[in-house]
């Protein structure tokens, strides 16, 4: 039986789709990438922004059309939107066969297998056992923070940290099957705590795995980025010098309304601490524009923060009201056109900064883990997460770390030679 998984949303969703795909492949189901080849079409949804939900609705609509020609095709909708709008999805799309919300993640595979009349499979896989160099594993699910704009705590529930022994054994398995880099994922990854094991000790233990070259993690909430963790990033050779630290806004008034529990000054002090301990740290962030009540002055504070901090990269989102959240009871008073304007100003500024940063890397040498080989080009990444392309005729470099001299930059990408 052939299945296709379409994923909407963040890196965590991509990782969960990979894990699900691993479970289904273990059973003998074959993953395809062309929708017309699939017997089972699985859509992994996201509820974080209204746009993501609209995208899912239109995808299901298109798949329904396809099912008219191929009535035996099974349509399965999973993830956050399935959790939040399961009943609505079933009512509106009669041909959807199965809806599984994100709180039932542990039963995903079993339910799919039952629907397809297949035999039992191993339902305990947390990560994808592919042959890829870089893998990911979700170590903590849900979130307790209740930022006023965010639907995650409602659709994913309370924070649950997974058993450290299971995580370690999964990571060992990944390394045995060729992984060189592992990314630990969670909405608030550094609040991980299982019994007496906290995030810092978990990272230390994973780094002991022989054969693992690099470890990354995201997302970090500023209030949980402890001195211990900063020291660990500074001293543990395998931990990449990259921190994704969502700022959301540079205005204290907006941060308070967002219930982020820090001020801009606190955030800036964290950045300074990171940079003083780890000179080559790469810092990326998330920004929301057009939050209720965000004035031009608030927005300018965010823009100034961007210029002052000089982020290595960022994701910027236009605020959209999400049901049940505290902000949904505020007046969504920044007009869409204004949100779009602010969004594009932030994006332009970020691209300018990014081009300056990549240009400043030209002529220098960086450690690069080679992840892929395509059309005589090796693709790799620096510890800071920048993509590097290297001309080569051999794929034997894949999975190894090399010193690469950067000879050229284009927008966000770097080109270089192994030295
Ligand atoms: N847990 C992470 C944190 O707080 O740092 C972020 C996870 S959230 C799924 C990813 C990003 O989506 C957030 O950092 C925020 O910028 C954005 N986001 C969340 N809710 C949003 C909303 N209602 N409108 C626009 N952007 C939103
Ligand atoms: Fe949402 Fe805030 Fe939790 Fe991130 S920390 S998932 S933004 S509630």
| Closest of 199, 12, 165 to residue 102, by C-alpha | 12
Encoded tokens for 316: 């910027």
| pTM for this predicted structure | 0.91
pLDDT, one tens digit per residue, over 274-300 is 999 999 999 999 999 999 999 999 999
Ligand 1 centre to CA of 200 (Å) is: 24
pLDDT tens per residue across span 221-248: 999 899 999 999 999 999 999 999 999 9
Least confident of 22-36, 204-218, 237-251, 262-276: 22-36
In this prediction, residues 65-69 reach a mean pLDDT of 91
Ligand 2 mean position, distance from CA 143 (Å): 6
**Distance (Å, rounded) from C-alpha 113 to C-alpha 88?**
24
Distances (CA, A) of 33 to 28, 99, 171: 16, 21, 27
pLDDT digit string (tens) for 73-128? Answer: 999 999 999 999 999 999 999 999 999 998 877 777 778 878 877 655 445 545 55
> How many A from CA of 213 to the centre of ligand 1?
30
Pocket of ligand 2 (CB under 6 A): 143, 145-147, 150, 152-153, 187-188, 221
State the average pLDDT for the chain.
Answer: 92
DSSP code per residue over 184-252: EEETTGGG-EETTEEHHHHHHHHHTSTT--EEEEEPPPGGG--HHHHHHHHH-TTB-SEEE---B-S-H
Q: Rounded distance, CA 92 to CA 148, Å? A: 29
Alpha carbon nearest to ligand 1 atom 14, residue: 286
Measure the CA–CA gap between 403 and 406, rounded to whole angstroms.
10
Amino acid 127: pLDDT: 54
Measured from the CA of 219, which atom of ligand 2 is nearest? Answer: 4
pLDDT higher for 364 or 106? 364
Length of the chain: 419
Question: Which residue lies with its CA nearest to atom 12 of ligand 1?
Answer: 48
Q: Which atom of ligand 1 is nearest to the CA of 188?
A: 1
- Tell me what pLDDT residue 120 has: 54
Task: For ligand 1, atom 8, name the residue with the nearest CA.
Answer: 48
- CA 9 to ligand 2 centroid distance, Å: 14
Average pLDDT (190-206) is 96
Task: Please report the atom of ligand 2 found closest to the CA of residue 143.
Answer: 3
At 9 the pLDDT is 87
**Cβ within 8 Å of residue 356, ≥6 positions away:** none
Torsion angle of C-alpha atoms 341, 346, 348, 350, degrees rounded to 10: -170
Residue range 314-354, pLDDT digits in tens: 999 999 999 999 999 999 999 999 999 999 999 999 999 99
* pLDDT in the model for residue 96: 94
Q: What pLDDT sits at residue 103? A: 81
Q: Work out the average pLDDT over 34-49.
A: 93
Tokens of residue 77, six digits: 């909708």
């Amino acid at each position: 039986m052939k299945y296709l998984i379409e994923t909407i949303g963040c890196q965590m969703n991509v990782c969960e789709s990979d894990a699900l795909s691993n479970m289904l492949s273990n059973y003998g189901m074959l993953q395809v990438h062309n929708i017309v080849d699939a017997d089972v079409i699985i859509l992994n949804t996201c509820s974080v922004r209204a746009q993501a939900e609209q995208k899912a609705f239109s995808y299901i609509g298109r798949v329904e059309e396809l099912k008219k020609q191929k009535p035996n095709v099974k349509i399965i909708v999973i993830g956050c939107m399935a959790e939040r709008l399961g009943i609505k999805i079933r009512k509106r799309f009669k041909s959807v066969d199965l809806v599984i919300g994100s709180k039932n993640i542990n039963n995903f595979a079993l339910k799919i297998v039952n629907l397809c009349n297949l035999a039992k499979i191993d339902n305990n896989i947390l990560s994808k056992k592919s042959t890829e160099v870089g893998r990911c594993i979700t170590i903590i699910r849900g979130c307790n923070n209740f930022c006023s704009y965010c639907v995650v705590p409602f659709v994913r529930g309370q924070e649950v940290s997974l058993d450290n022994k299971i995580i370690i054994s999964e990571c060992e398995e990944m390394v045995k099957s060729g992984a060189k880099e592992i990314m630990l994922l969670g909405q608030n990854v550094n609040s991980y705590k299982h019994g007496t094991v906290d995030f810092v000790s978990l990272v230390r233990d994973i780094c002991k795995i022989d054969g693992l070259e690099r470890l990354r993690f995201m997302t970090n909430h500023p209030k949980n980025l402890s001195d211990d963790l900063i020291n660990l990033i500074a001293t543990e050779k395998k931990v990449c010098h990259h921190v994704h630290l969502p700022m959301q806004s540079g205005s204290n008034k907006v941060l308070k309304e967002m219930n982020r529990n820090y001020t801009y000054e606190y955030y800036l002090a964290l950045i300074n601490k990171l940079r003083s301990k780890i000179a080559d740290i790469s810092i990326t962030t998330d920004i929301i524009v057009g939050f209720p009540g965000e004035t031009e002055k608030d927005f300018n504070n965010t823009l100034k923060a961007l210029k002052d901090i000089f982020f290595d990269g960022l994701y910027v989102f236009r605020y959209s009201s999400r049901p049940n959240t505290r902000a949904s009871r505020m007046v969504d008073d920044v007009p869409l056109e204004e949100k779009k304007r602010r969004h594009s100003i932030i994006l332009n500024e970020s691209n300018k900064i990014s081009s300056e940063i990549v240009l400043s890397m030209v002529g220098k040498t960086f450690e690069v883990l080679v992840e892929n080989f395509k059309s005589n080009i090796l693709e790799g990444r620096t510890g800071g997460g920048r993509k590097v392309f290297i001309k080569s005729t051999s794929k034997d470099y894949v999975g190894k770390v090399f010193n690469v001299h950067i000879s050229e930059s284009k927008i966000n990408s770097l080109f270089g030679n192994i030295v």
